[in-house]
Amino acid sequence: MFGNIESHLEELTFRDPDTVSESTILQDMKALVKRLACTPEEKEKWEILRLQLENLSRRKWRHYTIDAYLFGSTSNTLGATGCDIDICLKVMENGDAIRPGKIQEVIKGIHAELKKERFESCQAILHARVPHLKFYAPDLGWGDVSINTTDSLQKTRLLKSYCELDERIRPVILVIKEWIHQRKINQASLDGGTLNSFCYTLMFIAFMQIKYGLPSLQQVCCLAHASRRKELPYYRAQCKIPMQTWFFDDISSLKELYQPNEDSIAKVLQDFLHFYAYELDYFDQVVSIRVGALIPRKEKNWLLDRSCSNPQAIKLLCVEDPFDLSRNVATSAKPWVVEGIRWEFERAARELHERGLSGMLEKHVPPLDISGFAKQYPWSLYNNEIPLRGSSKSHV
């Protein structure tokens, strides 16, 4: 996908570039965000679909208590027009969540009901990490239904709360989502894939915490933010509770204490791209919005084993799930793909500076010869050589 990284750098080096002003980038970002915004009609259709799924599920399983919830981009204000629809069915039996063994039964049942309703391309995906149903709704697009994924509902609330705390977060993330779509680096589900939009969202919020002082909502208690991060209770040890889903959600009160600086969304975007292109130590650091800081790999026991005989097993980028502390959200990206993504950050930073937003968002066109870097890079791992910026073996 990315080709040879050195040849690409040569192709994209501009002589005597005309730099683009921050005000021009800001104006273009605002215009793009306006175009990407979901319409009231779309939101109304989401609600109709939610009710439809809730009602048909209640009719089919009358002995269960069932409620349907929108989550993800359709609910956390980070959705763009035409975004996928995520619905969680909370299915309870006698006050408790149904057993995992019954989840597949419910998904199969919903699959049959949606086919009766003439939904297109319905597919029950039963053996994924999270079993779910994928469908295509006329006039709406693709959607997923999952069962009792209540942690996803809480993550939706967490991201929405961050958007409320700093109004710059939503527009910048919408631009980032458009960028990763145009550059084709948002396909985590593909074999040897990249990263999903949730991972990029976590990376941006962590950047805001590290560089702009955005509080970690999981570390705020009684409107007091811990001042010494290394002494926080979960900094040096894994949480023994599988899911630590609490966070401070009284945003109106917290706003009285947190005062964002006056940097524009254009400046924030430039700084974000620069951070992941040049500043993050991919070898030794874990990105964490839970702590609001970069955690050393050794503290998470996510060590980088460059002597590993299987290059695909090496996780070059580590982004901690905010609730499931044992999960690396970036695990979908193989190490050579992570290097390609880091290069895309570098390219985007340069293009934004030299050609503006249109240059940054220029659609990715695969090179004619994609055999170079993708095929040659894995062999370098056997020699303990991972050519990433910050290492002595850097390509760039």
Question: How many helices and strands, by DSSP H and E, does the chain display?
Answer: 13, 10
CA 210 – CA 233 distance, rounded (Å)? 18
Please state, in angstroms and rounded to a whole number, the distance separating the CA atoms of residues 173 and 97: 34
The CATH number of the structural domain formed by 153-348 is 1.10.1410.10
Enumerate long-range contacts of 90-94, CB under 8 Å, 24 or more apart.
Answer: 90/66, 90/148, 90/150, 91/57, 91/61, 91/64, 91/65, 91/66, 91/147, 91/148, 92/64, 92/65, 92/66, 93/63, 93/64, 93/65
Tokens of 113: 């009901």
What residue spans define the domains of the chain?
Answer: 40-149, 153-348
**First and final C-alpha spacing in the chain:** 18
Record the pTM. Answer: 0.84
Strands 85-93 and 65-71: antiparallel
Share of the chain above pLDDT 70, in %: 80
According to the model, what pLDDT value does residue 189 have? 72
Give the pLDDT of residue 336: 86
Collapse the DSSP code of 320 into the 3-class scheme (helix H, G, I; strand E, B; otherwise coil) and give the result: strand
Closest CA to 77 of 158, 144, 163: 163
Does residue 232 contact residue 219 with C-beta atoms inside 8 Å? yes
43-62 pLDDT tens trace: 999 999 999 999 999 999 99
Q: Which residues of the chain have pLDDT under 70?
A: 1-18, 190-192, 222-243, 306-313, 367-396
User: Rg for the chain (alpha carbons), in Å?
Assistant: 22
Residue located via tokens 């659609």: 363
Strand bridging mode 132-137 / 285-288: unpaired
- The CATH superfamily of 40-149 is Beta Polymerase, domain 2 (3.30.460.10)
Q: What is the pLDDT of residues 200-253, one digit of tens each?
A: 999 999 999 999 999 999 988 765 554 444 444 433 334 434 567 889 999 998
